[in-house]
A and B are shown apart, each in its own frame.
Chain A
Amino acid sequence: MGNNQGPKGLTRRELLSRATAAGATFMVGTGFVTSGSAAWAVEASALKPETLATLVQMARDIYPHDKVADEFYVIAVKGYDTAEAAPAIEAGIAALNAAAQGKGNASYLDTGWERDRVDILRGMEDSAFFQQIRGGLVTGLYNQKAVWPIFGYEGESYSQGGYIERGFDDINWL
Chain B
Amino acid sequence: MKFSRLARLACLLVLGMPLAACQRNETAASWQLTDISGHMPDLAFQLTNDQGKAVTAADYRGKVALLYFGYTHCPDVCPLTLAHLHVVMQKLGKLAEGTQILFVSVDPQRDTPEALHTYVTAFDPRVVGLTGSPAEIEALTKRYRAAFSREPGKASDSYEVSHSSGIYIFDAGGKARLLATPDDAQDKLVHDLYLLLSAGGTP
A and B interact? no
